[in-house]
Structure 1
Amino acid sequence: MGTVTIRDVRKIYNKLEVLKGVSVDIRDGEFLVLVGPSGCGKSTLLRMIAGLEEISSGDISIGGQIINDLAPKDRDIAMVFQSYALYPHMTVEQNMTFALRLKGMSPAERKERVARAAGILGLTPYLERLPKELSGGQRQRVAMGRAIVRSPAVFLFDEPLSNLDAKLRVQMRSEIKQNHARLKTTTVYVTHDQIEAMTMADRIVVMHDGLIEQIGTPLELYDRPANVFVAGFIGSPAMNMLPGTVRAGRFIAEDGTEIALDTTPDRVDGQAIMLGIRPEHLVVSDGGTPAEIVTVEPTGAETQVVSRLAGTEVMVALRERLQMGPGDHFSLAPMPGTVHLFDAASGLRIN
């Protein structure tokens, strides 16, 4: 079984607490993504699962067995690094079979496993080449192939696509997800790129400052972020945030601008809040709130407009062509049921 259980795990470096009591249950066969800004502790947690970092306190289990004190080679995991970590003097086939040779696996079984992995990854024509003769994407496939041939209980990926160009990253995202669907091996994937997280994960763990902010499916996090941090981190362009209060069912911004709300909990009346609205949920409306256009950024499929509304810069993503420019004025209104309300003091969701 490839279940991974992380219980109240902490990591302390020279009195600095990098992980502050992290607990996650990862299901067998799940593709779980750890995401967050640099320094949030996601790579440290992955390295602790791999056995490359010691656990200061808490427990990590794989398949019900606590692995805190097991050497990396005894944990039934395979890791794919950002830097590929290929042996430059070995061919693709030799790189992929190196760990199998160390385990004493027979040549026939090694050949069978390499043939299967190479077929999955499209590497069959390159088995006799050296890493220097491959493109970046092909090298990353070799690193993945080296993990696949071991048939581990858990795959660990540490920002494997960050060295690739934008087009190749999109292609490799799809390939990794397709391979997971074929192999059905539990996968823990670390990235700072929330687009990678959204497009690849069964569930996402959003981390910040050594803590877990929220765990959920991509759409759960997108549609109902638990707090201001998750709301701002998940989604591109980011969610707009306006400080103010709610009175009699209307949002009152700090400069006095009013925005009509379709529904608000009675308990928030008069409370200091942050109103969140995603750029694609703002529409041009004659009965909306006046705003001034700052910049217009056509992207083809949509037009992104930076506007000034209620004294705050607000991003609007429009599907229709906008025949206006900087300095022009229009009115904006949120689509029904799309407004997010957060407590200004705690940052927690309140609607």
Structure 2
Amino acid sequence: MGTVAIRSVRKTYGQLEVIHGVSLDIADGEFVALVGPSGCGKSTLLRMIAGLEEITGGEIAIGGRVVNDVVPKDRDIAMVFQNYALYPHMNVRDNMGFALRQRRLPRAEIDARVADAARILGLEQLLDRKPRALSGGQRQRVAMGRAIVRQPNVFLFDEPLSNLDAKLRVQMRSELKELHQRLGVTTVYVTHDQIEAMTLADRVVVMNGGIVEQMGPPLDLYDRPGSLFVAAFIGSPPMNFLEGIVDRDETLVLDDGSRLALPLPVRGKARVTVGIRPEHLALAAAGWPAVVSVIEPTGSETQITARLGENVIRVLIRGRTEVRPGETIHLAARAGDVHVFDTGSGRRLTARALEGADR
């Protein structure tokens, strides 16, 4: 079985600790994305699963077997890197079958596995080409094919799409998801791109400074971020934040003196940060007044950047708008779309009545 159990894993380089006791259980067949900014520890954790980095403390088990001291080739994993790592002097067929030849599998079995992977990935017409004659997307398919032929219990992906252009990344995301649905192999996928994580994974693990900040199904993290860090990281365009003091009448008083009527979960001079996603703000006949500074139409959507007092706020609306820079608009949000965080700790505050109100 392709289960992965990470138990209180730590990693230090000299006096510097970069992974701080991470624990995570990955079920057989699950697709888990490790996401976070550069330096958060996601790639280091992946490399420890692969055996490419030594574990300072804790345990990693794959398929129920502790693999702390097991060499990478014996861990029953296959890893796909962001730089493809193809042998330039070998054609596609030989690149895909190289690891199997090293294991001295019969030639007929190697050919059958390569042919099957080539069919799955649409590489059948490219088997005799060298890597230099392939596009970036085709090279990435070859790298995935090399992993598939090994028939591992666990796939490990280290930012495999980061070298592709935007259009090809979208295409390859779809192909990766279809591949996982077809093969059902446990997959651990590292990316700094939260859109990749949201669209591909069954479960997203958000890392921050060597710890797990929050984990769960993608839409759970989007709907109920547990901290300011997760709220800022998950979602595109990013969430708007307004910081201020809660007045007695549940009004948020911003630092510039602006007053916003909001259903807030705390009373009496508490300092909070309110988060509202751009797509959850709407233009209204009455509401918070904001002066438009930039209009960015994309065809199906329009992003409006405006100033609410001294705060910059972004609004994402479906379709098009007649609003122009310099105009004053009024904004409203449903209570259920308002997220409230303690400014000091950054943790989410539980609301008494953040659900059900209309715009």
Q: Which residue of 2 aligns with 1:224?
A: 224
Q: Distance in 2 between matches of 1:116 and 1:269?
A: 66
Q: Which residue of 2 aligns with 1:249?
A: 250
Q: Distance in 2 between matches of 1:305 and 1:67?
A: 51
Instruction: State the Cα distance separating 1:280 from its structure 2 match.
Output: 0.8
Query: Normalized against structure 1, the TM-score is what?
Result: 0.97
Q: Which residue of 2 aligns with 1:37?
A: 37
Q: Distance in 1 between matches of 2:320 and 2:114?
A: 52
Residue 103 of structure 2 is aligned to residue 108 of structure 1 = no
Q: Which residue of 1 aligns with 2:287?
A: 288
Residue 210 of structure 2 is aligned to residue 240 of structure 1 = no
Q: Which residue of 2 aligns with 1:260?
A: 261
The one-letter code matched in structure 1 to 2:211 is: L
Q: Distance in 1 between matches of 2:133 and 2:47?
A: 30
Query: Normalized against structure 2, the TM-score is what?
Result: 0.95
Q: Distance in 1 between matches of 2:145 and 2:2?
A: 19
Superposed CA offset, 1:117-141 (max 9, x none): 1110000111111111111111100
Q: Distance in 1 between matches of 2:120 and 2:129?
A: 18
Asked if the contact 2:36/2:206 (under 8 Å) is kept, the reply is yes
The one-letter code matched in structure 2 to 1:330 is: I
Q: Equivalences for 1:9-158 in 2 at 5 Å? A: 9-158=9-158
Q: Distance in 2 between matches of 1:319 and 1:112?
A: 49
Asked if the contact 1:292/1:309 (under 8 Å) is kept, the reply is yes
Superposed CA offset, 1:108-165 (max 9, x none): 1111111111110000111111111111111100000000000001000000001111
Q: Which residue of 1 aligns with 2:347?
A: 348
Q: Which residue of 2 aligns with 1:321?
A: 320
Residue 215 of structure 2 is aligned to residue 215 of structure 1 = yes
Q: Distance in 2 between matches of 1:37 and 1:235?
A: 14
Instruction: State the Cα distance separating 1:11 from its structure 2 match.
Output: 0.9
Q: Equivalences for 1:267-278 in 2 at 5 Å? A: 267-278=266-277
Instruction: State the Cα distance separating 1:327 from its structure 2 match.
Output: 1.8
Q: Distance in 2 between matches of 1:46 and 1:239?
A: 28
SS in 2 for 1:242: strand
Asked if the contact 1:9/1:56 (under 8 Å) is kept, the reply is yes
The one-letter code matched in structure 2 to 1:150 is: R
Asked if the contact 1:121/1:145 (under 8 Å) is kept, the reply is yes
SS in 2 for 1:337: helix
Asked if the contact 1:59/1:66 (under 8 Å) is kept, the reply is yes
Asked if the contact 1:254/1:310 (under 8 Å) is kept, the reply is no
Taking a change above 3 Å as real, the CA distance of residues 2 and 241 of structure 1, as seen in their structure-2 partners, is same
Q: Distance in 2 between matches of 1:25 and 1:231?
A: 23
Instruction: State the Cα distance separating 1:268 from its structure 2 match.
Output: 4.2
- Percent identity, aligned pairs only, is 62
Instruction: State the Cα distance separating 1:320 from its structure 2 match.
Output: 4.3
Superposed CA offset, 1:206-261 (max 9, x none): 01111111001110000000000000000011000000122323222222222222
Q: How big is the alpha-carbon RMSD for the aligned residues of Structure 1 and Structure 2?
A: 1.1
Asked if the contact 2:250/2:267 (under 8 Å) is kept, the reply is no
The one-letter code matched in structure 1 to 2:186 is: T
SS in 2 for 1:232: helix
Q: Which residue of 1 aligns with 2:354?
A: none
Q: Which runs of 5 or more structure 2 residues have no equivalent in the other structure? A: 351-359
Stretch of structure 1 that moved more, 99-108 or 341-350:
99-108
Q: Which residue of 2 aligns with 1:159?
A: 159
Q: Distance in 2 between matches of 1:286 and 1:258?
A: 18
Taking a change above 3 Å as real, the CA distance of residues 285 and 142 of structure 1, as seen in their structure-2 partners, is same
